[in-house]
Amino acid sequence: MKSLIAVFMVTAIAACAHAEAPAAPPAVTMAADDGLIAVSSNYSVDETVSRLEAALARRNIKVMATVDHAANAMGAGLQLPPTRLVIFGNPAAGTQLMLAERSSAIDLPMKALIYEEGGATTLVYNDPAYIAHRHGVSTDAPVLAKMSALLAAVAAEATAGE
Q: Please, what are the domains in the chain?
A: 2-159 (3.30.310.70)
Query: Is it the case that residue 8 has pLDDT exceeding 50?
Result: no
What mean pLDDT is predicted for residues 132-161? 83
The set of residues, in sequence order, having a beta carbon less than 8 Å from that of 35 and lying 6+ positions away, is 126, 127, 129, 130, 131, 133, 134
| Interatomic CA distance for residues 125 and 39, integer angstroms | 9
| Interatomic CA distance for residues 46 and 49, integer angstroms | 5
**Please, which pLDDT band fits residue 62 given cuts at 50, 70 and 90?**
very high
Higher pLDDT, 19 or 48: 48
Give pLDDT, residue 107.
93
Query: Is it the case that residue 109 has pLDDT exceeding 70?
Result: yes
DSSP3 helix / strand / coil % (the chain, rounded to 5) = 45, 25, 30
Write phi, then psi, for 63 (nearest 5 degrees): -90, 115
Lowest-confidence region among 8-17, 132-141, 153-162: 8-17
Residue among 122, 148, 145, 149 nearest 28 (CA): 122
